[in-house]
């Protein structure tokens, strides 16, 4: 089902209320947070379709919240601010925001721009579905070399990524440590099989694969989907 959730992070309650009113009238579900940390926590708990984020917040600044969110999630963000200089705009966009609206704003314009971004985002997501596959709670987008756990981007090194893909593409197949070393690190690799153990432990934790990426004692590892 289409995600119609909007998260408003704005410390000025009257402005948050106006946005909530406007977007709800258009059929969106709106949640409001009044500090950066509260907003970040809400976005992590229940990733919205779009975030409207105020620049000046009492605790964590909007630009930092934006960076924290875009590091972990792919959700579009519109920055709201009373400032309007070109430098600020560039800074806001560099932090990962998709658009930038200055206050005072026209509610209809905010809604129109939000719709445009949501459409663009849905399209991009649709296009990348061609080379993506789902394994339980994980979504792999091969072109991006990215793995998502629910909507959270799993932060993997290139070797961890290759190793994880190898397991996901061969469910229930047992791999010996030597076979994995050969396959992922190549025959020239001079390290020992403990390298494999360390990498397996890391991807187990990062991709939440406890009980799925299992040790086969005396042999190696296998991925058992649940
Ligand atoms: Ca503010």
Chunk the chain into consecutive blocks of 10 residues (it has 226) and report each block's average pLDDT, rounded to whole numbers.
84 96 94 97 92 94 91 87 69 76 90 89 68 84 84 88 94 93 82 90 95 94 92
Tell me how far the alpha carbon of residue 4 lies from the centroid of ligand 1, in angstroms.
24
212: left (phi over 0), alpha (psi -120 to 50) or beta: alpha
**DSSP classification of residue 210:** T
Tell me how far the alpha carbon of residue 27 lies from the centroid of ligand 1, in angstroms.
25
Tell me how far the alpha carbon of residue 15 lies from the centroid of ligand 1, in angstroms.
9
In sequence order, the β-bridge partners of residue 102 are 81
Tell me how far the alpha carbon of residue 115 lies from the centroid of ligand 1, in angstroms.
23
Q: Are strands 29-33 and 50-54 parallel, antiparallel or unpaired?
A: unpaired
pTM for this model (two decimals): 0.59
Q: What is the pLDDT of residue 164?
A: 96
Cis preceding-peptide flag for 83 (omega within 30 of 0): no
Strand, coil or helix: 208:
coil
Tell me how far the alpha carbon of residue 11 lies from the centroid of ligand 1, in angstroms.
5
């Amino acid at each position: 089902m289409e995600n119609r959730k909007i998260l408003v992070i704005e410390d000025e309650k009257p402005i948050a209320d106006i946005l909530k009113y406007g977007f709800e009238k258009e059929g969106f579900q709106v949640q409001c947070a009044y500090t950066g940390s509260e907003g970040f926590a809400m976005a992590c708990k229940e990733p919205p379709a779009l975030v409207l984020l105020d620049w000046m917040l009492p605790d964590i600044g909007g630009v930092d919240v934006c960076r924290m969110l875009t590091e972990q999630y792919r959700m579009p963000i519109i920055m709201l601010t009373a400032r309007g200089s070109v430098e600020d705009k560039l800074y806001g966009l560099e932090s990962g925001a998709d658009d930038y609206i200055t206050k005072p704003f026209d509610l209809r314009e905010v809604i129109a721009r939000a719709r445009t971004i949501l459409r663009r985002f849905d399209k991009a997501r649709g296009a990348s579905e061609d080379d993506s596959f789902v394994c339980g709670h994980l979504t792999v987008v091969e072109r991006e070399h990215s793995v998502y756990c629910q909507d959270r981007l799993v932060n993997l090194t290139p070797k961890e990524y290759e190793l994880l893909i190898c397991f996901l593409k061969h469910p229930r197949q047992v791999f010996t440590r030597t076979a994995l070393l050969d396959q992922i690190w190549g025959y020239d690799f001079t390290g020992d099989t403990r390298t494999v153990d360390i990498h397996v432990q890391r991807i187990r934790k990062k991709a939440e694969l406890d009980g799925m990426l299992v040790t086969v004692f005396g042999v190696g590892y296998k991925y058992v989907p649940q």
